[in-house]
């Protein structure tokens, strides 16, 4: 679920931050730029793990900023295909179930990847699994196990264009996210943690 990923970048430390230790300034700039951000084909960056290399700082002409070339590792959230994760049900729709891990909300279980015998209860607005004579509900807030099936990447530039077209009245487009995950709850051991 979590991996260490190596990055290289150039950061700038402004003069008003020279009172900090160099390492603290570098770490602050890395976390400011990467933490809680999606990096295409990498995943959701959580925080800096360690600093591998840092060049001597060079003062930029006119600004006084110190430019530092760095190499560092980040803790990144990117579960692999087939991995079973623990999440919480965030919402039910006729199309499927949305899950959250408290820090990542873009996990979706489509209706085709639920147990055989599942149906959507329109009145309760919840998915129900009919197991023999027992009805088991996929209530919001239920802690579940889900298996990762696929991930989808969207270019942020394309997403921004679609949003601007929707705002300008071109057409109503569904909200897309840069990184989303599709999961399954259709096997023994998956679904509600308390069920098994």
The answer to whether residue 136 scores a pLDDT higher than 70 is yes
Q: Note whether 71 and 97 are same-domain residues.
A: no
- Match 């959507």 to its residue by tokens: 120
Tell me if the pTM is above 0.85.
no
Q: Note whether 72 and 92 are same-domain residues.
A: no
**Continuous H helices in the chain:** 22-34, 156-167
Q: Average pLDDT, stretch 147-166?
A: 70
Domain boundary pick from 29, 61, 77: 77
- What domain range is 135 assigned to? 84-195
Domain boundary pick from 77, 98, 133: 77
pLDDT tens readout for residues 76-97? 999 999 999 999 999 999 999 9
In sequence order, the 6+-apart residues with CB closer than 8 A to the CB of 2 are 46, 75, 76, 77, 78
pLDDT tens readout for residues 14-48? 998 889 998 999 999 999 999 999 999 999 999 99
In sequence order, the 6+-apart residues with CB closer than 8 A to the CB of 32 are none
Domain boundary pick from 24, 49, 77: 77
Q: Note whether 70 and 92 are same-domain residues.
A: no
Q: Note whether 71 and 110 are same-domain residues.
A: no
**Mean per-residue pLDDT over the chain, rounded:** 87
Q: Note whether 148 and 106 are same-domain residues.
A: yes
């Amino acid at each position: 679920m979590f991996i260490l990923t190596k990055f290289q970048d150039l950061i700038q430390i402004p003069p008003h931050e020279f009172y900090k230790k160099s390492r603290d300034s570098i770490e602050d700039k890395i976390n400011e730029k990467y933490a809680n951000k999606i990096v295409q084909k990498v995943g959701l960056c959580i925080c800096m793990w360690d600093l591998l290399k840092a060049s001597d700082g060079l003062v930029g002409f006119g600004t006084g900023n110190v430019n530092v070339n760095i190499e560092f590792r980040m803790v990144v959230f990117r579960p692999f295909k087939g991995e079973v994760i623990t999440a919480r049900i965030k919402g039910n729709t006729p199309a499927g179930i949305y899950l959250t891990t408290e820090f990542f909300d873009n996990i979706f279980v489509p209706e085709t990847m639920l147990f055989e015998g599942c149906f959507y209860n329109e009145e309760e607005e919840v998915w129900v699994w009919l197991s023999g004579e027992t009805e088991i509900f996929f209530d919001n807030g239920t802690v579940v196990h889900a298996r990762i099936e696929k991930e989808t990447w969207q270019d942020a530039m394309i997403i921004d264009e679609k949003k601007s077209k929707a705002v300008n009245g071109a057409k109503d487009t569904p909200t897309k996210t840069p990184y989303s995950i599709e999961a399954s709850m259709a096997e023994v051991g998956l679904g509600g943690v308390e069920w098994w």
